[in-house]
Amino acid sequence: MNLKNKVLETIRQNNLIQPKEKVIVAFSGGPDSVCLLHLLHELKAELDIKLYAFHLNHQIRGLDAHRDAWYCLSLCDEYDIPFFVDSTDVPGYAQNMKMSLEEAARDVRYKKLFYLKSILNADKIAVAHNMDDQVETVLMRMMRGTGLYGLKGMEQLLSNGIIRPLLSVQKKEIIEELEQNGIHWQVDTTNQEDNYTRNKIRLSMILLMEECYPTAKENIFRMSASIREDSQYIEQNAMSFFEENHTLINSNTVKLELDDFFDMDLAIQKRSVRYSINVVLHSLKGIETVHLDSVIQLAKRYGDAQINLPKNLTVYKKQSALYFSTEELKEDILSFFYELEQNETIDISEISTEIETKVLLKDKNFMLSTGAYKKAFDFDKVSGRLFVRSREAGDRIKPMGLEGTKKIKNIFIDAKVPLAERNRIPIICDEAGNILWVVGHCISEEFKIDETTKKVILITVKQEND
């Protein structure tokens, strides 16, 4: 199969381009983008598309950069493709934004491309990443300590309209296609300099790997494709969980509920964290596996805490939720925790409530009057001290008369308790964490009074408006 048909098959199998669409080619003048423009020009009628080309002068290579722009203009003129060119001081931008030159060039390039896409009302932006680029990307991410998400490499089609029709094409195939058709290209000498990480991988590491395994590039590419298939399934499940358990507080803050978080597989937990970060930062750049692990550990902590991540992002643990924010957390999150002393009354100012405890001896004629906010429990079954607190992630109780345990969250859902009110409901628990009473809703089977009971604790809850 020739390269033209190979790329056509890739486009159709992956639904990269639809008939009547407008496609902008990111056109540097190097062999990859020249080949991409050439092939899409050849396929233009068959695909029934409108082509445009965009070139950016990064102001890095002096006169060579101007020659690149003139070359791109002449080839687009030959192909009768509308050509757009822009120029930006990328070194200055990199310095101002405190980015590497590579990062700054990519950032500026895509900003310009998406701006042109909006002006032209275009559908897709075609970039010329090939198999060699994919292998380099996977190796770079692997060395940084990436997870499954990073090992899958670059996608052929992104939701923002980026497409990569040459991703399954090797560099040598691109050169052969150009040479066979007598098409020249521009040479960027910076690609041969070893002061960039990607260039070092390309010029040294991959060559050493191929000495040991001649098909190393193809093997790594197949691995990333296989990982991508498995990752898509996991991502679908993770996104479903995330959609059900997150709330956008404002443009800078996302809340992720933890009630069901630890019932999920670690892969779902990490992806939920990553989605939360992406909603706030609109990017995952600089976020690595070690950061995701730190957030998971934060979620496991008892009580409130916080950690700082890159890009001025702070993650707060507050009761039964994580908050991801680039600003100081302003949401008033109700939280309380008090010890219940025997035969004492305490005031919980946070919810304007008093709780009274009385320890009584049980005799043969023992009788107590109870109600929704007055309950009696077998004090002998209590482990250590008693506490009253607001709800925490993962809270469970064994409801009276039922087999097994039930999540406090589900009790609230069944009772149609509004989210805003759930943190105001007192939870009575012992030192071992066993829950005796979800006040006003449910008492535990494990602390019921029976014939073996010797001491009873009577707990009465009074609210200010009672």
Asked if residue 31 belongs to a known ligand binding site, the reply is: yes
The verdict on whether residue 414 carries a ligand-binding annotation is no
Q: Is 383 annotated as a binding residue?
A: no
From the CA atom positions of the chain, what is the Rg in Å?
Answer: 31
Any binding-site annotation on 32? yes
Is residue 28 part of an annotated ligand binding site?
Answer: yes
Annotated binding site for ATP: 28-33
Annotated binding site: 28-33
